Amino acid sequence: MLDKFFKISERGSTVSNEVIGGLTTFLAMAYIIAVNPAMMEAAGIPFNAALTATCFGAAIMTVAMGLFANRPIALASGMGINAIVAYSLCLGLGVDWRVAMAVVFLEGILILLLVLCGLRKAVMDAIPVSLRRAIGIGIGLFIAFIGLKGGGFIAADESTFLALGDLTSPTAIVAAISIIVAVVLTAVNLKGALLISIVAATIIGIPMGVTPPVTDFSFAPDFSAFAAPFQVTPEGTLAIAQVIVQPVLLLFVFSLLMSDFFDTMGTVVAVGSRAGFVDKKGDVEDVQPILIVDSAAAAAGGFIGASSITSFVESVSGAAAGARTGLSNIVIGIAFVACAFLAPVIGMVTSSATCGALVVVGYLMMTEIGEIDWSDIASAFPAFLTIVGIPMTYSIANGIGLGFISYCIIKVAQGKFRDVKPLMWVAALAFLASFIFA
For residue range 47-91, list pLDDT tens digits in order.
888 989 999 999 999 999 999 999 999 999 987 678 778 877 888
The whole-number average pLDDT for the span 18-31 is 89
What's the whole-model pTM score? 0.76
Model confidence at 438, in pLDDT bands (50, 70, 90)? low
Tell me the backbone φ, ψ of residue 92, rounded to 5 degrees.
Answer: -75, -50
Tell me the backbone φ, ψ of residue 169, rounded to 5 degrees.
Answer: -75, 150
The rounded distance, in Å, linking the Cα atoms of 220 and 291 is 33
The rounded distance, in Å, linking the Cα atoms of 127 and 231 is 40
pLDDT score, position 347: 66
pLDDT score, position 88: 74
pLDDT score, position 404: 92
Name every residue whose Cβ is closer than 8 Å to that of residue 188 and which is 6 or more positions away in sequence.
none
Q: HSE (CB half, 13 Å, CA atoms) of 10?
A: 10
The rounded distance, in Å, linking the Cα atoms of 65 and 297 is 9
- Residue with more model confidence, 308 or 367: 308
Model confidence at 196, in pLDDT bands (50, 70, 90)? confident
Report whether pLDDT(215) > 80: no
Model confidence at 334, in pLDDT bands (50, 70, 90)? very high
pLDDT score, position 217: 62
For residue range 338-388, list pLDDT tens digits in order.
888 876 666 677 889 888 888 887 888 787 788 888 999 999 999 999 999
pLDDT score, position 179: 95
pLDDT score, position 93: 80
Other beta carbons within 10 Å of 373: 12
- Mean confidence (pLDDT) of the chain: 87
- Contact status, residue 321 vs residue 275, Cβ threshold 8 Å: no
The percentage of the chain sitting over the pLDDT mark of 70, rounded to a whole number, equals 97
The rounded distance, in Å, linking the Cα atoms of 82 and 132 is 26
Report whether pLDDT(289) > 70: yes
Q: Is 230 exposed, middle or buried (0-12, 13-18, 19+ CB in 10 A)?
A: middle
Point out which residues pair with 164 in neighbouring strands: 154
Report whether pLDDT(245) > 70: yes
